[in-house]
A = this chain, B = another copy of it.
Amino acid sequence: MKDKKIRIIPLGGLGEVGRNMMVYEYGDEIIVVDAGLMFPDSDMLGVDYIIPDISYLLERRNKIRAIIITHGHEDHTGSIRHVVEQIQAPIYATPLTRGLIEVKLAKNGLLDRVELHTVQAGDTLEIGSFKIEFFHVCHSIPDGVGLGITTPLGLIVHQSDYKFDHTPVDEKPSDYAKLAEFSQRGVLALLADSTNAERAGWTPSEKVIDDAFDRVFKEAPGRIIIASFASLISRMQQVANAAQRHGRKLAFVGTSMVDNVKMARKLGYLDIPEKLQVSIEQALTLPPDEVVIMCTGSQGEPSSIMGRLSTGTNRLFDIIPGDTVVLSSHPIPGNEENVYRTINRLFQRGANVIYEAIAPVHVSGHASQEEMKLLIHLTRPKFLIPIHGELRQLHQHALLAQQVGIPRENIAIIENGQVLELDGKSLRLAEKVPTSYVFVEGSSVGEVDTDVMREREILARDGIVLVNVVLDRFSGGLRREPQITSRGFMLSRESETVMEEARKRVAGLIGSSLNGNLSRDIEKELSNYIYNETHRRPMIYVTVSRE
């Protein structure tokens, strides 16, 4: 057993390293940390979300001892339902995280297939050769944890999403003592969130949002409608507190938000007085200046409540002049256009819109540069493995770490799928395991790959030209004029003369192409002709039949 190594493998597609899933492996034992989803880039056409490629795990199903979830956000929980369909392993989470997972699994009828265990910050769990200590971290959701993972070769600290918030909404500050204690024991490796490595200074406390809300509540002449994520439990608490302070009733709209509120109140993570909360139907009968409505859609998703409000297509109620709309979130990269379009439309409908760019109605949930340095000083790791960021953020994290004394050669910047091996003294890049995007579209998982995506890209850029040729079965000549139509190519009035000539060219090929592949010849000829005339390269699809 002397030459056993700890293997660390970030999974999760080609995006942010290990945000969606991390694998720790020692001999015959594997523990998985987090099972989240990625949001698609805007050129991943038709894709709803992306889940990690878990083929590495599927080949080692029987080695997996535990799946540990650090907190309840989608990018750490969103692929659980796909994972549990293929892997049977106990899942460990704190009460709120567990509650959010249960809401999600129940929606898909998977709740009874999963073995869920509740853990608390402060607990220690022995799982095979791993001893796991859970410690409290601040983030933009309550009940987040970091992990101290004691292995036979040393202590590894896994610091998932965190910030050092001195005045968090749930009044539970970060567990500095535990981090310092780890450092006394000696930390072999620190894996830590790099999301905000480009951001100087210290991320503001969630507390500043209270002041921003106070100002909004004081000035709003009519209804206040606040959009955020359905899982942002602490934001709901802040809205409830502001409503209480300013004498407004609070209504939540949207299934996932309502479900999460119910669960979080039951578990004691949301403290909302009975009289404060009303149904949306009740809220709509109250005077506008006595109401706050909280809903989803802060990313400008067209099908969300805020998206529908902005286009005047919401079912229950509409924007009315005098409404104050608050977008209490940060646009996820790639959503900027949607978010700004939504804001413009809300202004157009007469709402006043308050958003991150003009008032601190949202703050980041991730540590900035000074906090990242503090974490390194607190834990004093031998090795640093920046995680949770794109390559550029990992590089910035590495630069910061060098500034506080970690030698460059003790920092491993890796990408998803890159296996790292630790033997207690040194750190080595081992093999790469498969990572590809697994695209989820509606109910389909992995039925689309990058080749299909490339076809969609061509279709999206220049459309498709459809050619139907009917030959005489006896003479082989044209039976009638070739039919050519198109979809997504160009306006038919503009393409008329091009199409006219195209028909002639197709007809011209009929005699000369008897030996070869007529469909292919037509495709080639039209492709060249259309490109020369229009500088476009639509897909071309030819059918030839004989009558």
Contact = CB atoms under 8 A, between A and B. Distances in A.
A341 B391 CA distance: 9
B541 A487 contact: yes
A433 to B, nearest CB: 18
Interface in A83-106: none
A443 interface: yes
A199 to B, nearest CB: 8
A390 interface: yes
Interface in A16-45: 41-43, 45
Interface of A (DSSP majority class): mixed
A171 to B, nearest CB: 30
Contacts of A463: 46, 452, 455-456, 459
Interface string A254-269: 0000000000000000
Contact of A545 (B41, B358, B444, B470): B470
A460 interface: yes
A336 interface: yes
Contacts of A333: 336-337, 340
B460 A456 contact: yes
A19 to B, nearest CB: 14
Interface in A459-505: 459-464, 466, 468, 470, 473, 483, 487-491, 494-495
Stoichiometry, copies per complex: 2
Interface string A432-471: 0000000001111011110111011111111110101010
A529 interface: no
Contact of A495 (B355, B447, B458, B462): B447
Interface centre among A392, A451, A491 (most CB of B within 10 A): A392
Interface residues of A, number: 69
A249 B245 CA distance: 64
Contacts of A452: 463, 488-491
Interface in A329-354: 333-334, 336-337, 340-341, 343-344, 347-348, 352-353
B41 A337 contact: yes
Interface stretch (A111-119, A121-129, A532-540): A532-540
Interface string A51-90: 0000000000000000000000000000000000000000
A457 B457 CA distance: 10
Interface of A: 41-43, 45-46, 198-199, 333-334, 336-337, 340-341, 343-344, 347-348, 352-353, 355, 357-358, 390-392, 395-396, 441-444, 446-449, 451-453, 455-464, 466, 468, 470, 473, 483, 487-491, 494-495, 534-536, 539, 541, 543, 545-547
- Closest 5 pairs (CB-CB, A-B): A442-B535, A460-B460, A459-B459, A455-B488, A456-B488
Given A344-B391, A459-B463, 5 more contacts: A340-B390, A447-B495, A449-B491, A455-B487, A466-B466
